[in-house]
Amino acid sequence: MIPDALRTALAEEGEEASFAATVLGLVLKRHDWQRRGISSDGLLEEVLGDRDVAGLLLDVVGDEEAAGLLAAHLDAASEPEPMVAWALTKTPEVRARETLIALVDRYAGDPRKEHLVFQAVVGLSRWRSEEARRALSAVAEVGVGKAQALATQTLVRWDS
């Protein structure tokens, strides 16, 4: 269950939503690391400033619920925040892939959204699906800067 404070912050846009997304992203990252037997880097505790709160969040926040909340925020945001997209890249939930593809569809060629698209490309690089390939191909073709470079590199790596 996601605490009301995080849910409320993600209902808005701006700094509070970005902070809430960062917290959820770190929780999702830690869950992924736990599944793979990797020890903590301590970043969640550092961001929150409290080991007990971090432990509580790790126990109560589910990946599917967090991914759904982050995806809904990005789908509804008039100006999606790169940190929210970053947070969504930390989960293997299919809902994340759908939202990251939608971000690429909306912003692939927009130079003002390079960091946002870059985060979407990072997340999509974990899925070798036709949908992800199509989105990465679009970024490789019309994207800009680091987003375009990473999309191109990912496609080359997938083809080798």
Note whether 62 and 88 are same-domain residues: yes
- Among residues 43, 77, 92, which one ends one of the domains? 92
**Quick one: 67 exposed, middle or buried, by C-beta within 10 A (0-12, 13-18, 19+)?**
buried
State pLDDT tens for residues 2-35.
888 888 988 888 888 888 888 898 888 888 888 8
Number of domains in the chain: 2
Which residues form the domain of 132?
Answer: 94-160
State pLDDT tens for residues 26-59.
888 888 888 888 877 787 888 888 777 878 887 8
What one-character DSSP code corresponds to residue 109?
T
Note whether 86 and 138 are same-domain residues: no
Of 54, 52, 32, 31, nearest to 43 (Cα)?
54
